[in-house]
A and B are shown apart, each in its own frame.
Chain A
Amino acid sequence: MTDLKEISLMAHLMRRAGFGARRHELEDYCEQGYTETVEWLLNPSPDSGMDEDIVMRYYIDIDDLRNADPTNAWWLYRMVNTKNPLEEKMALFWHGLFATAYEKVENGRATAEQIDMFRTHCLGNFRTLLLKLSRDPAMIIWLDNNTNHKGAPNENYGRELLELFAMGVGNYSEEDVKECARAFTGWTIANFNARYPWGPFPMEFEYRSEDHDDEEKTFLGETGRFNGEDIIDIVVRHPATGRFIATKLYNFFVSDDPAPEEAIQILAAEYVNSNYDIGSVMRSLLNSKHFKESFYQKVKSPAEVVASVIRLVGDYQEPKPGLIDIAYESKYMGQELLNPPTVEGWHTGKEWIDSGSLVGRVNFASDQLGDLDKEGVKDIVSRISSSVSYLTAEQLVDGCLDLVGPLVLEDKTRSTLVDKARTAGDIDLSSSGNAGTIQDRVSEMLQLIVATREFQFA
């Protein structure tokens, strides 16, 4: 029997390094142990277990990936069903950091391919990731590097590479931005085309040497006839970069609060010592005291709310209609995947919540967990009703809290739920006539729990 502390830690790991897990999965992970589960997460299988052929057969629009909606839906489906949860979570992290929007790219397949690239390189070498990013067609369109020409540089990509993607303000000069942009001249795309009449052409990176400024440049104190690769080499080994990545990872995976200096130093050192290997940094992070002691210190992003609730209720394990509409829910809550509001990505933490989005989050989770036809809800009912023959109000509340988290509420909130449960009395499970009662009571309690403040945190 796995103890509550162990289950709670594993649930925490899977909320942060994935999109949550149901109780039977948590029990399996506990069986293999925390460290081993972290290693499993850090080493995604080549087969994410998606049965892509079946998905594409039934979702013709995902087979096509013509526009944003099916592309978005496909990503949600992967979050719900992947056997590589950290890979998918890292892709979401990089998407937030290297925010690229369909609105400008207007090519669903290109945006999907960028996310695929994140999956492939998410836990690898940061230099490789930045190089792939700099050659990514969606990014080139998004930050206008296709208009960055020799003699007429466009600084957009060069500036954001330094400011938002790798180093942060204060670690470079305006002159560095200009030199960086010059180094990326000639890095463009071929086959950029309109979506009509038959859809866009497949784009590809193209290096045009005649359009590249091959003259000498001075960048971050180094001088040479730098090309984009040289710039990336200088960036990844700059001391600011390790701290920048450490801070971003900490705020995404550990806490919305400012990262303590000690944690940043540990992660930044791992970045350098591992030769810029993100997987090594993540290993350090997921095994750290800071991480293990950070239960429910992060407001769930809308994508996390939607994916984790769908996983919890066991829906969309196979193709079925309505996936796009489920994906819309994240948009209604303030996070339209593949369409971040700006190149800065989304403002996270408490900024995810306002009165409108909170209602949306609660209503969505309540609708899902109130549906007794959902396999995951049936499982919760079954687990609660099979453990005892007589269920008190306290046991009903605590059983539900345990199986949606385990979630710990403020005493006052828990007492309110218990009082509410008491109004309907205890449940004698030995009476067959109470089968429907337990279902309704659990469903009602789950709907109340998702309306608590604590449920909004991961």
Chain B
Amino acid sequence: MTLRTVDYQYDHTIGMDDFAGRAFRNLSDLVVSDDEVLFVLQRGESVHNNPSIKICTVGEEWIGEFGSYGENPGELVWPAGITLDQDQRLYITDEWNQKVLVFDTKGTFIKQWGKKGSDIGEFDCPSGITFDGEGNLLVADARNNRIQRFTTDGNHVDSFGEFGMGDGQFSMPWGVAVSRTGDIYVSDWRNDRIQKFTRNGEYLCKWGEHGQGPGQFNRPAGLCVDGDDHVYVADWHNHRVQIFDSLGNYLGELSGEATMSKWGAQLLDANPLMEGFRQTAKYPELEGRLFKPRSVKADNNGRIFIVDSCKGRLQIYKKA
């Protein structure tokens, strides 16, 4: 698609829907490493299904997965957000265990912190997580309606936000992102808007309201900012990713155009009846559309990774 200032080109799709092994289901977030490895967060459906961090390359080569269900150290129940530091450590929020958990990229558990509560350093459904410019972690503490900042050792640095609809107030914030200049963007989920703050958490501006039109939202979820200060918002129940400049001016949107992934193609090749059935669809174009995207991430190579949560896949766009 063409925006006012830049073109976005659909590139490819990764994944197919299924629970176990080389497939995705119940996706909540992802992070991409500098060496083109994707770490994708997947939730379980019951105590019988482990949540997992699924690992593959941008080229859709399957690497593996790790993760186990539970409330003991290193276990996950409702993983929500994921980010990666320069030392290749993964930081994962868990909305049920009320923790940030740290793993290496092989899945070895390193440490965790947090407990349920509303005091400093405590959580009530921690959701989005990202690094600020100083190497500290920002966590969207959703049901405490605030953003908390921690060192990578889990020491609390500062917090901002409270419940409300006013400037600098939140209603269950979901995503948090930081621009190259250090500004902080928060998807203020139940207020259907995006708020922007200084690196210190001082309110700068906001945009958005409930609706389906350009610049409106139906529960904005994860968000990210790329090197050009373009803000990408997973507009969850509007089934799209909206793109804005750093002042909140609407630039365009991506609604998905998935083509068959490698894993999906292999499945269909092995099951010709399934492929024949697929060809009978009255509206085949619907197959490629986003369906309830929960997260969007940008890498340093001009690529946008959309977590197409209820389709069990990732859609990838490139800036032309």
Residues of A within 8 A of B (CB): 53-54, 56-58, 60-61, 63-64, 66, 69-70, 190-199, 201-202, 206, 320-322, 324-325, 328
Contacts and interface: CB of A to CB of B under 8 A. Distances in A.
Contacts of A191: 281-283, 286
Given A66-B25, A197-B267, 12 more contacts: A54-B172, A60-B26, A63-B292, A64-B25, A66-B17, A193-B277, A193-B281, A197-B260, A198-B312, A199-B311, A321-B96, A325-B47
Given A53-B237, A198-B287, A321-B47, A192 B280 contact: yes
Contact of B286 (A60, A202, A322): A202
A190 B26 contact: no
Contact of B264 (A64, A197, A328): A197
Interface residues of B, number: 48
Nearest to A201: B281
Given A60-B26, A61-B26, A69 B310 contact: no
5 contacts: A53-B219, A197-B264, A198-B17, A198-B312, A199-B310
B217 to A, nearest CB: 12
Contact of B274 (A60, A194, A320, A325): A194
Contacts of A328: 46
A206 B282 CA distance: 11
Contact of B43 (A61, A196, A202): A61
B170 interface: no
Nearest to A195: B17
Contacts of B280: 192-193
A268 B45 CA distance: 45
Nearest to B275: A194
Contacts of A192: 280
A57 B237 CA distance: 10
Given A61-B43, A322-B47, A197 B261 contact: yes
Contacts of A320: 96
B78 A58 contact: yes
Contacts of B278: 193-194
Nearest to A189: B282
B311 A196 contact: no
A112 to B, nearest CB: 13
A64 B17 CA distance: 11
Contacts of A64: 25-26, 292, 309-310
Contacts of B309: 60, 63-64
A323 to B, nearest CB: 8
A70 B280 CA distance: 27
Contacts of A66: 17, 25, 310
Interface string B81-117: 0000000000000011000000000000000000000
Contact of A199 (B17, B78, B190): B17
A324 B281 contact: no
A182 B11 CA distance: 49
B50 to A, nearest CB: 12
A60 B236 CA distance: 12
Contact of B16 (A190, A197, A324): A197
A324 B45 contact: yes
B193 to A, nearest CB: 15
Interface string B205-235: 0000000000000010000000000000000
Given A191-B282, A193-B278, A199 B312 contact: yes
Interface in B49-64: none
B298 interface: no
B149 interface: no
Contacts of B237: 53, 56
A130 to B, nearest CB: 25
